[in-house]
Structure formats: structure tokens, C-alpha cells
Amino acid sequence: MPAIKDEAFPIGEARKIVADLLKPKAWIYWTDTLITLTITYGCIFFIFHQETVMGYAPGMPEKASQYIPAFLFSWPAILCYVVAGFGLHRAANMIHEVAHLNATNSLKSYRIAWNFLVGIPAMVPSYFFEYHMDHHNNTIFATGRDGEYLPIGRGPFFRVFLFLTQIVGQPILVLFRWFVLTPISFLHPRFRHWVLSTCSSVVFNHAYRRRISKDAPRKWWAAMDIMCCLRAWLIPGLVVLGALGVSIGTPLSRIFTILLLALLPLTLHYFRSLTAHHWILDGRQVSFRAQLLDSVDIVGNRFFTELLYPVGLRYHALHHMFPTLPYHNLRTAHERLMAQLPADSVYRDMVYPSVFSVLKEFFKTVRSIPKQVPSHMSDAV
């Protein structure tokens, strides 16, 4: 990674190059999302259909097979699982676009539809990510007030390991949020405020506390909370009905199928996030230039990279440079900048040829940077 200096970043020239690319195109958002969800939900339907047809896991005692998803013994269903995992990864990452659209009050109908089509079924409503704009604030980025940043690139390796263990912990925390905290949060205003500030954000830094403004749309948030709560309780509720012999009930293995369906996109999300930044800033406020140089653009193999970094997330440094650029214009903007900026432009220092080159540099810095983490973030992982 190039040395970070607090000199000004020459943004003016770059802004002129991409000025005509700032308007989002609604038809792209709708088409992308609907095609993605048609394929994804179709694969999930096939997986559940296989579960119904196959019943218990073949070749295993009935008691043991109650807990093992039957679809794992069907190659077509396993293929559908992989496709669904990448599809969920893409559809869920649209929450990033929804957060930016919300900040500019753009495409309101799409934002509402995304919640009903993705956010509520996945139990991650869009307001869980509205705090994301803090991540682009120069006074907040990479400090203890940034819920999306941890200095794991500073080492030691154990902190990287703890970061990745969140993949397993997140489903547990999400279910606890909807099963337990959501119903009782409506019993008292103070507890409701605590739930909204502490347990209503998609974060890596769990020491983060969200600030709830006086004009926050609490009624809309409450409506989404109630729907997500009902969605969560539907999972064990159908299992109970199945145990009672009710025809619309489902077997216990269905819960483990749902957890497996959550695990793959979560793993992809954390891997993608691990390579979105260098994660070496020490918690102090930094310049705009430092924010950019800690971020990464990955060009690489287009198909492979797009699968891992959907909706333009491969151009993460460019996104930090121009947060309002819609995802469908990031590639065009990148190509223009590479063609028109001077050969010595600092933008080129943010561009990496592959995922592996980013990982190589990341683990090199984990080994070489002095093993110290700011005290205010020492308990964040």
C-alpha cells in the first residue's frame, strides 16, 4: 500500500470526468433485482422441494436425519444452493445502494420494494444500514464511531480470525434480535431506544452505538420490525406445526437448511469486506486522501470478481471517492479515470489486478505493522 500523507487529493479533475454518470437509472435497479431474485428464489424453492420429496436424509437413522438437510444428498439441489448463495449475496448487497439512494432521496418505490422482496424475508431491513453514510464522513471514517471499520490489518492474526468468526455469530445475533428483543422493545420507550441504537445496525465494530435523531421514521422502522419479527417466528412455528402433524408444517431439518442458506452469502460478504480496505488506520481522524488509499479497487477477472463483489463493490475506492455514483456506472467511471487521469495520479495506487494481490498485501501488513490497536477499539472484535 502506498504511504499515506495528509496532502489534499486533487478531486476536481476526476469529478469533471464522471460528472455525467451520477444519476441512477431506475430500470437497471429493477431489472437487476428482479432477475436476481427470480433465479435465487427459484433455486431456493427447488431446494425446499427436494427436502419435501426426499424427506429424511437417505441412509441415516430417522432420528439423526431429522437434523440433517436432505438436499445435501442431491447434486442438483447442491448446485441450486450455490447459485442461491451467490444470488442472495447480490440481492442483499443492494442494501448498500439502498442506503445511498435513501441519503439522496432517490428511487423511493425501489427502496420500499427492496425491503418487501429482500430485506424482510432476509430479516435485514434497509434501516439497519442507513448509518452507512457515517462511513463516508471524513470526521468519522476509521475512528471508533465508524461501525464498519476495524483495524484488523494492523494485526495480530488472531484479530483477523475473530473478525471472521462473526460469520457464525451473526445468524445467532440476528435471530435473538427478532425472536426476543423486538417484541419486548415495544414495552418501554427507553428499551426501544436501546434496541434501535445498539442492536439495529449491520456492523463489524460491535462497540458502535447508533445515534437516533428526533426526526427518525420510527413508525416505519416499527412496521419493518414487526414484519421481520413475524418472519422470524414463522420459521420455528412451521416446525412446531410439522411436529403436530399439520400439513402446512415443516420438518426440523428445514431450520438447518435455512441456516445453511444464510451461511454462504454471509461468508461471501465477510470475504468481500476483508478485501475492500487495507484496515490499517489506527483510529485517529484522517484526511480524504488517507480514506481513499485505505480503500481498494479490484479489476481482475470480470466474471469471477463480479460474483464476489456484486453491484459495483469491486470499485470500492472509487465508491469512496464518489459515494453518489450509482453502481451501474462505476465500471464506466473507472475506465474513464484510468484513461484520462495523469500517469502519476494517486488513483492508480488504489487499483489492484486481482483479489489475490489484495490478500497478499493484507497479510503482509498484518505481519509487518506493529501489533497495536487503539484502546477505544480494543474490545470491538
pLDDT in tens, 333-349: 999 999 999 888 889 99
CA 243 → CA 57, 217, 236, 239, distances in Å?
17, 40, 11, 6
Mean pLDDT over all residues of the chain?
Answer: 89
The region, left, alpha or beta by phi > 0 then psi within -120 to 50, assigned to residue 181 is alpha
Distance CA 28, CA 333 (A): 17
* Nearest-angstrom CA–CA distance, 314 and 305: 7
Alpha helices by DSSP H, the chain: 11-18, 26-54, 62-65, 75-103, 108-114, 157-176, 182-185, 189-198, 218-243, 253-274, 288-293, 302-308, 316-321, 330-340, 355-368
Angle (CA) 320 326 329, round 5°: 100
Residue 5: pLDDT band (50, 70, 90) is very low
**Count of alpha carbons within 13 angstroms of residue 132, beta-carbon side:** 21
pLDDT band at 13, cuts 50/70/90? confident
Look up residue 324 and give its three cell numbers: 453518489
Handedness of CA 116, 167, 273, 285 (dihedral sign): positive
pTM, entire model: 0.91
Grid look-up 432517490 returns: 106
For residues 70 and 251, what is the distance between their CA atoms, to the nearest angstrom? 11
* Through-space distance between the first and last CA atoms of the chain, rounded to whole angstroms: 24
Please tell me the least confidently modeled range out of 65-74, 113-122, 238-247.
238-247
Average pLDDT over residues 108-126: 97
- Higher-confidence residue of 379 and 111: namely 111
Residue 346 C-alpha cell reads as 494517486
| CA 120/CA 91 separation, integer angstroms | 12
Q: Is the dihedral of CA 290, 292, 295, 298 positive or negative?
A: negative
Which residues on neighbouring strands pair with residue 277, listed in sequence order?
295
Lowest average pLDDT, out of 8-17, 42-51, 99-108, 241-250, goes to 241-250
